[in-house]
Structure 1
Amino acid sequence: MSKRPNLVRRTVFPSSVSRAVVTPLQPSVVYSSPSPDALDDQYEGRAKGYTYGREGHPNADVLAGMIDRLEGGEGGIITGSGMSAVTATLLGLLSAGDHIVGGNQLYGRSLRMMTQDLPRWGITSTLVDPTDVPAMEAAITPATRLMLVEVVSNPTLRIADMEGIERLAKDRGLILVIDNTFTTPYGFPAYARGADVVIHSVTKLLAGHSDVTLGYVLARDPDHRKAIYDTNVTLGLTPSPWDCWMAERGLYTFDMRFERAQANAAAMAQLFADHDAVETVLYPGRSDHPDHNRAGALLDGQWGNMVSFRLKGGRAQANALTKAAPNLAFAPTLGDVGTTLSHPASSSHRGLTPEGRAALGITEGFFRVSIGCEPLELLQHDFTVALDAAR
């Protein structure tokens, strides 16, 4: 026998009468159980434990519990990305022959999944303006099983008629799925307001630093929850323990970031409106927003950090603006601690025809801005310089 000490899987983690203040990061892919009977107890629900990282791990459960408390529910599931949360929900709850009624300004990849990917599995969709409940009702067929909406649309920031949609879903026995990424639980308590399933891209405002990629799903019905969980595990939409640990850290400052960014957004919406290079400003907190009254009732004054505006002019003015603002990240994301600019015509909505974009009001001069937590005077300076260049 070798005289060398064996260090492989023989080192015992030190015990302690004190505990770590910071949640331990546990990157283990597998977990050891004491016996086959103990493993049966875990799988059959008589004991709590972990087996294989794809089926769950402590860092994911810690993060899920935190977001559960924000939404006011329990049993949330962490997934590998926001789109994996959408995927696990739709594939977990729907079968061939089923039909979805969805908002027509959902996140671009959600739209792609509904219009290009799901039809290959025999699941069809109809996309409707979520501010028009009669149109949504007219889209329902005998095969409709689920409705998928966002409270605030991307990128034109229209406000869905959530009261009407909630009533419609309940009356027609449909599963109401709300993607609450834009609004967050602080802007709209989706679960408390009647959603059957709530989805978040944790990547965005909840984590808030553009350094993790995660999703979250909360289902009210235990059978729905199990179906979504099983789909997530089977498809391998596994969240990284590291990303979960980082997102947990980000959540500790979520309320402060949310309030700071929201206050900045209101001030910047006014600056955009006052500048002569800007044709239109879209911000739910402004009285000239087409859905301002509905937003006031739904959002309770939490107008959010997203502002959109339309420049006078087109692509040349858009290029001039971004080139004159090197400190404002031109990137197709939102919810970062810093401000980011998105140009839908060249990113999220590039797949639409010019006519399709025009129907939504998305011109070559259209920008969506995710306002961050920078000092307001710095944002005002950078945007003034950029808008002057685009004039």
Structure 2
Amino acid sequence: MKNDAGSLMRPDALPESASRPVVTPLSPSVVYASDTPDMLDRQYDGDLHGYTYAREGHPNADVVAKRIDRLENAPHMGVVTASGMGAVSAVLLGLTQAGDHVIGGNQLYGRSLRMMTEDLPRLGIATTLVDPGDVAAMRAALRPETRLIFIEVVSNPTLRVAELEGLAALCKERGVLLVVDNTFTTPRAIRPFDWGADIVIHSLTKLLAGHSDVMLGYVAARDRVLNDRLRVFAVTAGLNPSPFDCWLAERGLLSFDLRYDRAQSSAAQLADTLAALPGVTRVIYPGRADHPDHARAQHLLDGQFCNMVSFELAGDRATANAFTKAADGLSFAPTLGDVGTTLSHPASSSHRALTPERRAALGMSEGFFRVSVGLEDPEALCRIFRDAVAAATGT
């Protein structure tokens, strides 16, 4: 019997079509074929654009990167990573070496804090945590070996606003890189490159993708050499993203601005509702006049105060448990950015590694919650919170 080897051969071309797809095709291929060794050389040398091996890049990642580049006014194509912490790792591990010093905001995301306080010191990289709203304290923390300052525009989860303008001037003066995690605020509220940031980071898992079914990160640098170093480290460390997640993230990005605006409007209404409730001792929302950084938020964010609200209940862990049980219809989950509202309890999730004393110093008690407001009817959402607070606090 004749062996038809041709039936096992991979196709060398897609079917021709005079039309084109409206939706970006999903490209799951790990391997890409070139015609000759010379052509492959030219691809690796950058003379030809082409894909070789998916760890080094693939079409769906580039499509997502270019969309975020436009949103952020990034000067070079950013790097999409397998998670937000992948993007953080590309910066903190890819751009530093033993003997360097790194300064971080003292209210960074919990895993970023853990990398700053546990992993970098283990590798011989010294770290200092400083209030990002205090430029004088940041200046005092600088050393000759300081490589970068890493902040969030709005901190997670206490929603304090960094002194971005002053820090950018300080970093430029001292030749230090300013790295900004823009996950909470998103380019809808602020574009850190426009304010002097050198590197911008995102967890696409959150608001940009927006449906709790994607895990991705993004990082881009103003300087082309640094941008290339980030890309090379991401490839070497295997931080490459899934094509399917990139494909889903592109879908989410198409509705990002509409989702953001609706959620932000509801967040402002929820913050005012919570502030009037007995049993709620504190509400933190940058759009409220009682926020300690309200004036700075107005200056930096131009009225875009985000969809995140934090608040504190009078009580202990039992009160927190009662609240989440009574918040019928809301998801208690250690994440943010979904189309539905999610509740997060930092003491049991993002900041559980900190001692109770350290959390208290940062303003996070057992009654402290962070809310990522979604797309529900705002009146119905406020009613859920009113009922849940009353049930938990007996008010």
Q: TM-score range by the shorter chain?
A: over 0.9
Match of 1:242 in 2: 244
Shift in Å, 1:151: 0.7
* Residues 32 and 52, structure 2, Cα contact 8 Å, conserved in 1: yes
Shift in Å, 1:240: 0.3
Structure 2 unaligned runs (5+)? none
* Local SS of the residue matching 1:110: helix
Query: Aligned equivalents of 1:11 and 1:95: distance in 2?
Result: 44
Match of 2:155 in 1: 153
1:280 aligns with 2:282: yes
Q: 2:88 aligns with which of 82, 86, 96?
A: 86
| Structure 1 segment 4-83 matched on structure 2, within 5 A | 6-10=7-11, 12-73=13-74, 74-83=76-85
The sequence identity of aligned pairs, in percent, is 63
* Residues 279 and 390, structure 2, Cα contact 8 Å, conserved in 1: yes
Query: Aligned equivalents of 1:10 and 1:336: distance in 2?
Result: 39
Match of 2:198 in 1: 196
Match of 1:267 in 2: 269
Per-residue deviation, residues 216-258 of structure 1 (Å, max 9, x unmatched): 0111111101111111000000100000000000000000000
Shift in Å, 1:5: 6.2
Query: Aligned equivalents of 2:83 and 2:383: distance in 1?
Result: 35
* Local SS of the residue matching 2:148: strand
1:221 aligns with 2:214: no
1:342 aligns with 2:321: no
Match of 1:320 in 2: 322
Match of 1:141 in 2: 143
| Structure 1 segment 109-124 matched on structure 2, within 5 A | 109-124=111-126
Query: Aligned equivalents of 1:108 and 1:375: distance in 2?
Result: 31
Query: Aligned equivalents of 2:218 and 2:313: distance in 1?
Result: 35
Shift in Å, 1:12: 4.1
Query: Aligned equivalents of 1:285 and 1:97: distance in 2?
Result: 41
Shift in Å, 1:350: 1.2
Match of 2:168 in 1: 166
* Residues 105 and 151, structure 2, Cα contact 8 Å, conserved in 1: yes
* Local SS of the residue matching 1:192: helix
Shift in Å, 1:13: 1.9
Q: 2:179 aligns with which of 172, 177, 180?
A: 177
TM-score (norm 2): 0.97
Match of 2:376 in 1: 374
Shift in Å, 1:147: 0.6
Query: Aligned equivalents of 2:114 and 2:29: distance in 1?
Result: 35
Match of 2:108 in 1: 106
Query: Aligned equivalents of 1:337 and 1:122: distance in 2?
Result: 41
AA in 2 matched with 1:81: S
Query: Aligned equivalents of 1:201 and 1:258: distance in 2?
Result: 15
Match of 2:260 in 1: 258
Query: Aligned equivalents of 1:3 and 1:269: distance in 2?
Result: 69
Match of 2:300 in 1: 298
* Local SS of the residue matching 1:6: helix
* Residues 132 and 151, structure 2, Cα contact 8 Å, conserved in 1: yes
RMSD of aligned residue pairs (Cα, Å) = 1.1
* Local SS of the residue matching 2:104: strand
* Local SS of the residue matching 1:367: strand
Query: Aligned equivalents of 1:36 and 1:306: distance in 2?
Result: 52
* Local SS of the residue matching 2:219: strand
Query: Aligned equivalents of 1:97 and 1:77: distance in 2?
Result: 26
Match of 1:383 in 2: 385
Query: Aligned equivalents of 1:215 and 1:255: distance in 2?
Result: 19
Query: Aligned equivalents of 1:82 and 1:307: distance in 2?
Result: 21
Match of 1:212 in 2: 214
Per-residue deviation, residues 144-186 of structure 1 (Å, max 9, x unmatched): 0111000101111011111111111011000110000010011
Shift in Å, 1:355: 1.1
AA in 1 matched with 2:62: D
* Residues 165 and 196, structure 2, Cα contact 8 Å, conserved in 1: no
Query: Aligned equivalents of 2:329 and 2:169: distance in 1?
Result: 45
Shift in Å, 1:99: 0.5
AA in 1 matched with 2:384: D
AA in 1 matched with 2:255: T
Shift in Å, 1:10: 3.7
Query: Aligned equivalents of 1:96 and 1:368: distance in 2?
Result: 36
Q: Which moved more, 1:6-15 or 1:242-251?
A: 6-15
* Local SS of the residue matching 1:269: helix
Match of 1:97 in 2: 99
AA in 2 matched with 1:161: E
Structure 1 unaligned runs (5+)? none
Query: Aligned equivalents of 2:39 and 2:236: distance in 1?
Result: 23
